[in-house]
Amino acid sequence: MTARRTKLKVLATLLAAVLLALPVLPAFAADGDVPPTEPTIAAAVTVGGVLLQDKNAEEASAAIAAIETSFAPLPVTGDGHVSLLGANSTLRIDIAATVAAAFAATETTTLVPTYVVDASAVTAFVTGFARAIDRKAIDAKRVVSRRRLKISASRTGRKVDQAGAVSVLTAALVSEASGAAVATVTVPVGLVKPRVTLANIGKTIIVSLGEFRVLLYNGAKIEHTYRCAIGMPAHPTPRGTFRVIAKSAAPTWRNPYSDWSMRMPAYIKPGFYNPLGLRALYLSAPGIRIHGTSKSYSMGHAASHGCIRLTNHSVVDLYPRVKVGTPVYIVR
């Protein structure tokens, strides 16, 4: 028994040694299929000086990603302002599309990489470019100096069409990426017209208290002047900037029952001798009007209870020349 066991033990040792010496073979499916292999680029395709033949998709992608691009800066102009858009920072290789083109090639070829434009980088450039060009339109304004009206000049504004600028710059970058020569790109800049100009600023009334005059301006020019009466010291005409808020072609006087009107009638119908005369312009200053009077002798005097009096003849002349909303400056 001992000899038999020894013999079996020796045989087992020899078998184990034989098995260890045999080469390890890959396992195959029972039906005899070969193991799958990753496809590689068959044709001799060169991209950016790099040969991609025999590379799989991962290897080709890594090779393309390492390619350094070099594009000239793109000159950009608008309204006389010139800047440079860095094409290298706004163009990047579309690796997936370029790899796909390499796999599709069937013969030796040199491919131009497929590029995509970084929209956010272009938008940021346009925003900065517009900041250097854009300017607001400035309206003409009325300025009263030394009892006379001056009109400050209006100014036309400028504004970059940012959506249009992004579009033309993107197209230029695509052209440059394809190898085409690109000249200076002009971005669209529009004019912004002022709302108020010397031509449309309209009428202005200046009441010069010290001169006892009402001056009617059309734009920057005096259209007509009228002598007037102003408020007496006890009832001074207020100074300030006001406007015409209403007009009456046949004003009715109603007693305000102030200290000076207590003995007057409650109501006086329209007419030549009405205290408001034949016409009245109601101002935004409470209780103040530019109105007519039959007391033509009061012209050139501080004789009213705060209103600006004109002769009936003058107020009839002024009335159709002035619209509701016309500014009125009452100055010293």
Global pTM exceeds 0.75: no
CB 229 within 8 A of CB 212: yes
Residue 36 clears pLDDT 80, i.e. is over it:
no
pLDDT at 257: 86
pLDDT at 207: 98
Structure tokens belonging to residue 199: 């031509």
pLDDT at 247: 98
Residue 189 clears pLDDT 80, i.e. is over it:
yes
pLDDT at 178: 85
**Which position has the higher pLDDT, 254 or 154?**
154
CATH among 2.40.440.10, 1.10.645.10, 3.40.50.360, 3.30.230.10 for 203-331: 2.40.440.10
The predicted-structure confidence for 210-224, as pLDDT tens digits, reads as follows 999 999 999 999 999
The predicted-structure confidence for 37-89, as pLDDT tens digits, reads as follows 889 999 999 998 899 999 999 999 999 999 888 889 999 999 999 999 999 98
Domain spans, the chain: 203-331
Residue 9 clears pLDDT 80, i.e. is over it:
no
Q: How far is CA 262 from the centre of its chain?
A: 60
Rounded to whole angstroms, the Cα distance separating 307 from 291 reads: 8
Q: Which of 75, 72, 170, 176 is CA-nearest to residue 117?
A: 170
